[in-house]
Amino acid sequence: MYPVRLVHRFSDEAREVMISRNGADVVNGSGAGGTWPQKRSSEYYRRLLSSDVQRQTLKLNPQFQYLYPTKGSATLSLGNDFGWLHYMWIDIGTPSVSFLVALDAGSDLFWIPCDCVECAPLAASYYSSLDKDLNEYNPSDSSTSKPLSCRHQLCELGPNCPNPKQQCPYTVNYYSDDTSTSGFLVEDVFHLMPGHNDASNESVKAPIIIGCGSKQTGGYLNGVAPDGLLGLGLGEISVPSFLAKSGYVSDSFSLCFNEDDSGRLFFGDRGISGQQTTPFLSLDGKNLTYVVGVDACCIESSCLEHTGFEMLVDSGTSFSFFPIQVYKKVVDEFDRQINASRSSFEGYPWQYCYKSSSNVVPKFPSLVLKFSTNSSFAVSSPVFVIYGTQGAVGFCLAVQPTDGNLGTFGQNFMTGYQIVFDREKYVLGWSHSKCLDLKNGDGGRVGNSNTLPTTEQQSVPRGHAIAPAFAGRTPTSSASCFSHTTKLFMLMLLMVHVS
């Protein structure tokens, strides 16, 4: 990671950088005719005020209520072939080319396979759930594509950028099994559609920075995000950051995952007034990713002592993880309250599994996360149902232990909710939702999110889901792939080297 130091825009240091880029003749001068105002002059303060007013206008008056990709707001889950993550189709460039990208709130960079040296297979025949080939991005084929040079603010001063005219390289290393993506940064347009209350029905072409991923390693060569990954994190290089800074939408977005594995993504969505919230926390003193603080875990009305911990909210993790000390308390209480016999099922990673009687899933104890803001999150689907030829044969508490003090709030916990990542207020929001299109009003969201799931809701969690071990591959290889996938996306920090 590179250290960060704040520099005033009109400091002597910043001036020297501008001279090195543009020449002294362009930079020197004062008043309205010069590019560099004299300190404490009227022009100096006029430019500062103008910038402040512009930034405030962007915050108060975004152009659109919300935006979504031109192919639609719907997300989809493609099973074990694609690591049990949620994906969506997006259009990039001119003319536009479609990519099926994984959604990851735990990382920042948006990258797609490009000028491939080593990429995952893109042919539909390689995947059981695709009916058409995936695409590879070629910057030379897009009239709106622009290479990012080493002089760009996202790249300058890096060790591998000695020449300011050189194209900016990048490497993203994930904390798992030597998994990475590398290539060059380019600018191109992201095609989006405005929300239902916006006057224009024309598509929006938003300039963003893209990782032209020519080489992938590890999990990215084994079916996870073969056509790219859309980073939704807090970093300056993420798509939500670009859309907000350009004034297109508010600095917020929402994700919604339904029990039938459908979902939605909306940029700019701030949620509804009745939603619950809890603040994001810094990690090691830095605001690097979406972390929330859990005060206590409750099984039904029994709130367990010493079960507070911090959780990374990450749509790029299929299932959820608790620190091992908390995990033991939660599973012991769940096991004490469940009215079912313990069992084990080959190929499944969870330790607390149970038999189903009469091919139906019995009512299971609720799992609730309590937060310091007097808010609570009742997990709609804490179990994973295992089906046989005659119906449900068992189910598992879909939580795993992890070393360390940081847990993961994965996709399975998000199911049944509109999850709002409000980056401006720096809070996580949630409300029960049917994940409908926001063109239908509030998208089926329910204001009172304190209510625990009903017995009917609990009886059919992820009703058609097939376990990773039986999704078209042999149990041994699939179980290995599933374990690899969860490790891949349970990342503590994202290391992005642009140089």
Q: Nearest to residue 201, comparing CAs of 74, 67, 96? A: 67
Alpha carbon distances (Å) from 434 to 55, 204, 445: 35, 27, 6
Does residue 260 fall inside a structural domain?
A: no
Question: Do 318 and 392 share a domain, yes or no?
Answer: yes
User: Per DSSP, what are the bridge partners of residue 183?
Assistant: 170, 213
Question: Do 179 and 150 share a domain, yes or no?
Answer: yes
Question: Do 106 and 48 share a domain, yes or no?
Answer: no
Tell me the Cα Rg of the chain.
24
- pLDDT score, position 30: 41
State the Cα–Cα distance between residues 351 and 396, nearest whole angstrom: 8
Handedness of CA 73, 78, 79, 83 (dihedral sign): negative
Question: Do 132 and 238 share a domain, yes or no?
Answer: yes
Question: Do 287 and 432 share a domain, yes or no?
Answer: yes
Question: Do 202 and 72 share a domain, yes or no?
Answer: yes
Does residue 222 fall inside a structural domain?
A: yes
Residue identified by tokens 């002089």 is: 151
Does residue 342 fall inside a structural domain?
A: yes
Does residue 264 fall inside a structural domain?
A: no
Cis peptide upstream of residue 95 (ω within 30 degrees of 0):
yes
Does residue 3 fall inside a structural domain?
A: no
- CATH code for the domain of 394: 2.40.70.10
Which residues, including other chains, have CB under 8 Å from residue 457's CB and lie 6 or more apart? 380, 416
Does residue 454 fall inside a structural domain?
A: yes
- pLDDT score, position 12: 73
User: Per DSSP, what are the bridge partners of residue 204?
Assistant: 192
Indicate which residues carry an active-site annotation. 104, 314
State the Cα–Cα distance between residues 239 and 402, nearest whole angstrom: 30
Question: Do 55 and 130 share a domain, yes or no?
Answer: no
Does residue 258 fall inside a structural domain?
A: no
Instruction: Please say whether the beta carbons of 140 and 147 come within 8 A.
Output: no
State the Cα–Cα distance between residues 373 and 294, nearest whole angstrom: 10
- pLDDT score, position 27: 55
Specify whether the backbone of 347 is left (phi greater than 0), alpha (psi in -120 to 50) or beta.
left
Quote the pTM value.
Answer: 0.79
State the Cα–Cα distance between residues 180 and 352, nearest whole angstrom: 33
| Number of separate domains in the chain | 3
Question: Do 56 and 122 share a domain, yes or no?
Answer: no
Q: What is the mean pLDDT of each run of 10 residues along the chain (499 residues)?
A: 53 68 54 59 66 52 93 89 88 98 94 97 92 96 95 74 86 83 97 79 93 95 92 96 96 94 95 95 86 97 97 92 98 96 92 88 93 94 89 94 95 95 97 82 48 34 30 28 33 42
Does residue 262 fall inside a structural domain?
A: no
- pLDDT score, position 84: 80
**Could you report the per-residue pLDDT of 301-317, keeping only the tens digit for each?**
999 999 999 999 999 88
Q: What are phi and psi of 206, to 5 degrees?
A: -95, 120
Question: Do 99 and 176 share a domain, yes or no?
Answer: yes
Tokens of 427: 């809070």
Question: Do 237 and 294 share a domain, yes or no?
Answer: no
What is the b/e burial string over 198-209, where b = at least 16 CB atoms within 10 angstroms of the residue's CB?
Answer: eeeeebbbbebb
Question: Do 56 and 73 share a domain, yes or no?
Answer: no
State the Cα–Cα distance between residues 213 and 112, nearest whole angstrom: 6
Domain that holds residue 175: 67-249
Tokens of 182: 């590398």
Question: Do 205 and 127 share a domain, yes or no?
Answer: yes
